[in-house]
Structure 1
């Protein structure tokens, strides 16, 4: 196949605003004859193939380069090179091994991700039905061109964006583009608004969406990257995912400073020796440089992240990019899709209203036909006063469904029989006993309602109800009707009934009476005491009550039918005649229930100082009601004029400057397009906020890519969304996001702990080595207070395991009760930097003091000659002092690991020591690290030849004193901090957040006209 021609994506033409004739003229096509083969070939050369373009996949060498192109890795490479140059092969080999291990872990973690564009390509329909040369023909879908006349039928995947010109009962599933959970009914009328949201362009169909019902024909308006899904693909290629994470940026900055400091220290070493080069001076300079570099940092960070991946998998969150773990801890805002993320994506009938009887509540969720119908009468709580349609409330009266023919019975019969959906109880061994459904989501909801009332369609059919004729749902009339013959009676054939359901305004236009109990009241005369206008006003009032709860309202009606003798009830019936003189029965409110875990999860987000936004393709009333139920906005707030609720049309119409001037970004944005979601993420970024985006459809992919953390749904999510995301939830549960954020915060706090531990060790070593430059032997050479191997052993073997243990610390009690860390409370906050230097200086000074005590107290200040290389009797005091310094610093670093568990609380309290038992890695590393001191000091050959020290006797007394002095100093230092420094953060609270939103809304509520003007 020839390679597709790359075509620049043009500015979208608003074809939905044009008539069919204008679109045909625009593309020079004929809706009856189509294009000629020659013209189609020419257009294929001009527009290119109807397929999506990718970036060629992920190259392994690019992934490997990203692992090695790291400042800290570069410094380690330089250190290893210097070690090899000076023939210190052991030290150089260890550093190289650390670099290789770290690169290998990171490489395989990233390389396992497949490229996003492959999933997008595979979504296209392989073939298409078009009219070419006045003949209907099948072509490869990638050869469709603008101006082609394309034909769609039930079940087809639409191959290109098209302007419809002929439809029959057409409904399409556009959830992957708009997030709308219900099929969209199409029509042919031009739309005046050029900026109409994608979900409301009813005269258009879009590439990769599916025909749910009916058939149609349309003019191809866009192909390839110019389609709506192509624009999503373009966004995925162009969107910047936020660059380096804060941790990566801070580590890189830290590496630059370390590199600079190492160079300065090397210059100091050579300066003290008057810049006279010798191997001994070079080795000392390398030792100082090694002491400055936290060799174990890259490995500890990478392995801590790897352990974090395993922990996340345990809470059903799959991490695709290691850096996202740290990013989660900094999240300030979560932008969530509604359908399937906060909700169950299952339509459920939860309310009914019958004239004369009032409101009814229906319990139960999902496809399970288990629940009760309760009568509430006309006394109904004001909109927003309850938590939502499914909230628990003491019923006023339990309605017993009467089978003798009352008002409720006819209503439920209409719901059951005017319905093509089927409920099934599976017998498959894996899902035995579970209920499943087939059909339109709203019809499924009505059928479940009928099952709950004991009036399931199969039961009614078995009782004798027989379908005679059906007039299917038609988007032009927005209603469906059926003619049934009732059960046989003693007098002979059963009565005939017509049942009707549909949009309220379309059903009311067919009604001449309304049912009130057992009587029928006329809508057309004075006799009934109620005019049509008054009745319709009452219906609108009741609909508003249901709509305020986010329910989709369907209306039911019926009438008895007397067949005319000799008329064929199958072929001779006229729909207009059948659907007239109907009797209004009542309203049914249907909604997509939120997950049970969503509300607690949102409230926990508020407790953690994280704000939640809902960005959905649903209608504003539905979106706002669900937002109330899951606590995204207060349940007692109004919907109209609410500044926290916007439509995509309102939000998209605002410039970036106008969005930035908003005191508060909207918490609910309805009728969203992919660009709306990306615009919201961009607005959050301009406010210096750290955004996470959750989603499951293709329409969520650009925003998942643009967000700092993209979180996709694993079960209901498309492949595109999963590949664009950083994290995939295997259980599609919003509550898992909160667990993921908690894990991210834990990891961030632990990274802060072990970095402080590692850098404190470096500061202590530098203090010892730099001050030690003042001590020179009989030949005028500086005497090493610590050897290069001792330093490397302390950094890699002694310090790294406890640092790893700190990386595995369990979350603190305040982990999810504090706001996200600001830049001032980041990884290298003032307090962390201060602690690093205070603890480092204390450990360095105490270690050097012990070194001096041995040199001057027991060795009379004899520094020998050549003691940096070999052991001799003249160097025994230096070797003993060096061993003392090594033992002191080893135990101080291990004790410091206990200090680093908390910035301010006592590390040595009974309570904290008990909690440390949960962290086996930490206390085992401390015990093993302490025991390793003895073989390093006492094993012959190893001590003199490798570590350049010797065995200790009475010097252990200095070590113990130094250890207790440091512990006492650390406790006093933390006590002073607790008394003099401000609390780390202000405690967040969900109730305070709700009250803040109420105050904001009361001060900024605007009229609908003002909002529309915006």
Structure 2
């Protein structure tokens, strides 16, 4: 059977085509649709209307990713050497560490589902099409280019289409464009091929929804040729395997450890003139094991897992462990506006009436609670009052206010509902267009809601729905007194064109004064109104105008079907303006301010209009309040930004903080620009349109409540409360975790360096056969790392954040995990601990002992001649153990004293650290004194007076550390 060939659909700017041109291009008919035979043929050519995934995550790929970790490779090499020389206890413990680390990492990685699966499931399950001149319903995956699709209210559109018939059609394209308002569609041909996605009003797109109306369209693209398919393609082309800074540094450290371990093994054999024996091989393995921080990989993973748990309590779900560490290096946040910084709830906040001036409406969201304050006029046309007058009601207000409220309530299809279920505590919900919801809430606040008006006798006679060609809506109502009133709302410029008068109190005054005939019309009050519109628009408000007129029915004319819209919408009386905005979340401003305090810059990338975006940006302090939006480079439209080359963008002193009318490519372009500046960026979002940038960013954060499944799956972190402030908490947690990792890495490596130096220096101490005498046994080294180094390191990973955690700028590459100061501290502390551990070993052997080293005392206790070696080894082991445990307290702060009272009194905040130190000290005694365990496993004997040397070394080390930190505080910036 021949292999099916799928024809790739090239992107054609169908929005620039007429309907006839679209029919010709796709060889179809808007009346008859395709024939069944032609549809089947196209299905074979183009394939099914399904988004293609990447095939899923393979379990063996994830497992290999864990094993291929450089630190794990180092442990595997040590494990092989341990088993090869029959050191089974050591080999077994190392193998346990490898398995534990791989299990934790495998579980975390494999639990993340694929982004493309969520994209695939977003398609509508069925579609209405016309085939063979008949309207039928088919599975959406059977739709092909050229099909004629039919859409109705509430449908999820299954393919990209060129519209050819619309009736009051509005679609929700927020997932693709970020635009918070429904888009009114029309059939007008668009001349520009590069028109922004949100402005292609004669097109509908797959995975968007029909909010209102109905329409028909010709399918122009299916599957991966749709706009959502292009987003899916972008996601598949984004490299998601880039290592985080911490992973890169740990990998580099692992390579260095591997090289150093091999070099030390060569040194051991070189000292013994490359003579092989089991004792020499065991000593070489001991040196190699001492070089490897066996618990590091597991502790890093566990610390991140603890961070994940902490973030879950803070309502942030971490889907990828590495992303939490990455948050600590964030320099820039690119945030969507709608639903992220704002509440995604339109609310009427201002009104302006001729004569009365400005009004302010209090209250937020859908809750119809608030008051109306009369503010009056101001001296300058471009100003809006900031002070409030006295609250008014309909009874105390003017008749003009009454008409405005009636227009808001009746020229409106939205509904407010209150759920009286006990569990919801009477929560208010709304149905309808967000703008109409805002006007309906205004009517409720004024005490004249639509249900009350209808119950009192207002009866709807006729409706002229909103149409994008006229940008207004009108209704005809009969009042309880049998009077007929027309109410109209819409864009100011379209309303003024229908008005002949304006209402000022009880008077109706001509809007325009005619002087000298029709050829010399002087615009009078109309310019005053437009000045007020501009003043409100500069505050980021969407401005609607309301008007009305009394209507005298004509005998014999059907008021329901016989009215002419042009006649109805003429000679109207202008009532006033209503300013509506999408309020910022209460937490957004404090969160943005915390970002700036932490040296993090916030950018707003939104599909909204530039003036609206800029106003919200000012409110939440993304841009200064005195920014001149028209002349500032901080605010830019996507058209302007997209038209710039990379060189032009890189030449900017500062990347724009607000980019409006964004497309998915604009957001990805911004992320790329930040990366070229070596900045570490976060992208937040909730829609499908945010998915490519969520993937491209160093850390992608999706909204859990309002976010689409695609965005959640594309993101590294999902916020369950959609709260921008939670992002700041996540960044603080990322910083805390990074510095804690730095603390326990310093602790582990200092102990390893001390152990290595003791073992290397001890090469000079040789027994009667010329073999070096172990100051520490192989089992003791491994046990020390697992019981005395790793548990306190876990405790350090749980240290609470410092008071200055979010008051310092993001770390740079010079302030990384292995900064100069950290590396210096590792070697200084390690060198001092080595000296203080090796000196007691020598004192017990040659000063307090007889200097008898015997032979084969490395392999076991053969006779009393090994007493001195076994006691010296126990002394060295005890000293190094106490020093490592004490060093954990020193590592709590890189410069401040770990023994300071203000730190000791907060010990209850980190019980894990202190318990690990106490238990570690207690475990030491069985290792020294339990018969059989001490001689046969750890090559020790019980000690007595030697404890004086141990505690003396501990006292000297503590004094040295405090002096060293004091000098650092005085000499280092």
Same fold (TM over 0.5): yes
The 8 Å contact of residues 384 and 637 in structure 1, kept in 2 or not, is answered as no
- Give the structure 2 partner of residue 1002 of structure 1: none
Q: Does residue 642 of structure 2 align to residue 649 of structure 1?
A: no
C-alpha distance 4-816 of structure 1, shift in aligned 2 (>3 A): farther
Q: Does residue 137 of structure 2 align to residue 135 of structure 1?
A: no
Encode CA deviations 1:740-767: one digit per residue, 9 max, x unaligned.
0000100000000000000001100001
Give the distance between the partners of 2:19 and 2:451, measured in 1 at CA.
45
Give the distance between the partners of 1:313 and 1:414, measured in 2 at CA.
47
The 8 Å contact of residues 241 and 708 in structure 1, kept in 2 or not, is answered as no
Residue from 385, 393, 401 that aligns with 1:400: 393
C-alpha distance 385-826 of structure 1, shift in aligned 2 (>3 A): farther
Give the distance between the partners of 1:531 and 1:790, measured in 2 at CA.
101
Q: What's the Cα RMSD here?
A: 2.0
Q: Structure 2: which 5+ residue stretches go unaligned?
A: none
C-alpha distance 136-767 of structure 1, shift in aligned 2 (>3 A): same
- Give the structure 1 partner of residue 625 of structure 2: 635
Residue from 821, 843, 849 that aligns with 2:811: 821
- Give the structure 2 partner of residue 1012 of structure 1: none
C-alpha distance 531-374 of structure 1, shift in aligned 2 (>3 A): farther
Q: Does residue 899 of structure 2 align to residue 908 of structure 1?
A: yes
Q: Which range moves more in the overlay, 56-65 or 321-330? A: 56-65
Shift of 1:403: 7.2
Give the distance between the partners of 1:189 and 1:532, measured in 2 at CA.
33
C-alpha distance 942-3 of structure 1, shift in aligned 2 (>3 A): farther
SS of 2:24's equivalent in the other structure is: helix
- Give the structure 1 partner of residue 572 of structure 2: 582
- Give the structure 2 partner of residue 471 of structure 1: 464
Give the distance between the partners of 1:384 and 1:980, measured in 2 at CA.
55
Q: Does residue 736 of structure 2 align to residue 746 of structure 1?
A: yes
- Give the structure 1 partner of residue 694 of structure 2: 704
Alignment of 1:66-105 (within 5 A): 66-105=65-104
Q: Does residue 162 of structure 2 align to residue 144 of structure 1?
A: no
Give the distance between the partners of 1:242 and 1:443, measured in 2 at CA.
46
Encode CA deviations 1:156-189: one digit per residue, 9 max, x unaligned.
2111111112211111110110111110011122
Alignment of 1:228-243 (within 5 A): 228-241=227-240, 243=242
Residue from 790, 799, 805 that aligns with 1:800: 790
- Give the structure 2 partner of residue 786 of structure 1: 776
Shift of 1:902: 0.7
Q: Does residue 615 of structure 2 align to residue 622 of structure 1?
A: no
SS of 1:901's equivalent in the other structure is: coil
The 8 Å contact of residues 178 and 617 in structure 1, kept in 2 or not, is answered as yes
Shift of 1:302: 1.0
C-alpha distance 135-169 of structure 1, shift in aligned 2 (>3 A): same
C-alpha distance 616-404 of structure 1, shift in aligned 2 (>3 A): closer
The 8 Å contact of residues 696 and 717 in structure 1, kept in 2 or not, is answered as yes
SS of 2:34's equivalent in the other structure is: coil
Q: Does residue 487 of structure 2 align to residue 499 of structure 1?
A: yes
C-alpha distance 302-177 of structure 1, shift in aligned 2 (>3 A): same
Shift of 1:833: 0.6
Residue from 489, 501, 510 that aligns with 1:522: 510
Give the distance between the partners of 1:157 and 1:901, measured in 2 at CA.
56
SS of 1:799's equivalent in the other structure is: helix
Shift of 1:385: 9.7
Q: Which range moves more in the overlay, 473-482 or 613-622? A: 473-482
The 8 Å contact of residues 385 and 636 in structure 1, kept in 2 or not, is answered as no
The 8 Å contact of residues 798 and 890 in structure 1, kept in 2 or not, is answered as yes
C-alpha distance 382-935 of structure 1, shift in aligned 2 (>3 A): farther
Shift of 1:262: 0.2
Encode CA deviations 1:670-710: one digit per residue, 9 max, x unaligned.
11111111111111111111111111111111111111111
- Give the structure 1 partner of residue 405 of structure 2: 412
Give the distance between the partners of 2:561 and 2:516, measured in 1 at CA.
36
Residue from 926, 944, 961 that aligns with 1:935: 926
The 8 Å contact of residues 4 and 48 in structure 1, kept in 2 or not, is answered as no
Residue from 406, 415, 420 that aligns with 1:427: 420
Give the distance between the partners of 1:602 and 1:733, measured in 2 at CA.
12
Q: Which range moves more in the overlay, 335-344 or 37-46? A: 37-46
- Give the structure 2 partner of residue 379 of structure 1: 378
Q: Structure 1: which 5+ residue stretches go unaligned?
A: 387-392, 489-493, 983-1014
* Runs of 4+ with deviation above 6 angstroms: 2-6, 380-386, 527-532
Residue from 891, 901, 916 that aligns with 2:882: 891
Alignment of 1:81-480 (within 5 A): 81-241=80-240, 243-379=242-378, 394-402=387-395, 406-480=399-473
Shift of 1:422: 1.1
- Give the structure 2 partner of residue 481 of structure 1: 474
Alignment of 1:587-602 (within 5 A): 587-602=577-592
Give the distance between the partners of 1:306 and 1:380, measured in 2 at CA.
61
The 8 Å contact of residues 349 and 362 in structure 1, kept in 2 or not, is answered as yes
- Give the structure 1 partner of residue 498 of structure 2: 510
The 8 Å contact of residues 484 and 496 in structure 1, kept in 2 or not, is answered as yes
Give the distance between the partners of 1:589 and 1:5, measured in 2 at CA.
57
Encode CA deviations 1:448-491: one digit per residue, 9 max, x unaligned.
00100101111222332222222222222221111112223xxx
Give the distance between the partners of 1:851 and 1:383, measured in 2 at CA.
85
Alignment of 1:605-620 (within 5 A): 605-620=595-610
Shift of 1:381: 8.9
Give the distance between the partners of 2:405 and 2:667, measured in 1 at CA.
41
Give the distance between the partners of 2:7 and 2:774, measured in 1 at CA.
67
C-alpha distance 861-9 of structure 1, shift in aligned 2 (>3 A): farther
The 8 Å contact of residues 144 and 219 in structure 2, kept in 1 or not, is answered as yes
C-alpha distance 384-707 of structure 1, shift in aligned 2 (>3 A): farther
Q: Which range moves more in the overlay, 156-165 or 591-600? A: 156-165
Encode CA deviations 1:924-955: one digit per residue, 9 max, x unaligned.
11111111111111111111111101111111
- Give the structure 2 partner of residue 876 of structure 1: 867
The 8 Å contact of residues 381 and 531 in structure 2, kept in 1 or not, is answered as no
Give the distance between the partners of 1:603 and 1:4, measured in 2 at CA.
60
Give the distance between the partners of 1:688 and 1:734, measured in 2 at CA.
24
- Give the structure 1 partner of residue 945 of structure 2: 954
Residue from 533, 538, 541 that aligns with 2:531: 541
Encode CA deviations 1:778-811: one digit per residue, 9 max, x unaligned.
1111100111111111111111010000000000
The 8 Å contact of residues 403 and 409 in structure 1, kept in 2 or not, is answered as no
C-alpha distance 830-384 of structure 1, shift in aligned 2 (>3 A): farther
The 8 Å contact of residues 784 and 868 in structure 1, kept in 2 or not, is answered as yes
Give the distance between the partners of 1:69 and 1:100, measured in 2 at CA.
13
Shift of 1:382: 9.4
C-alpha distance 511-756 of structure 1, shift in aligned 2 (>3 A): same
C-alpha distance 384-646 of structure 1, shift in aligned 2 (>3 A): farther
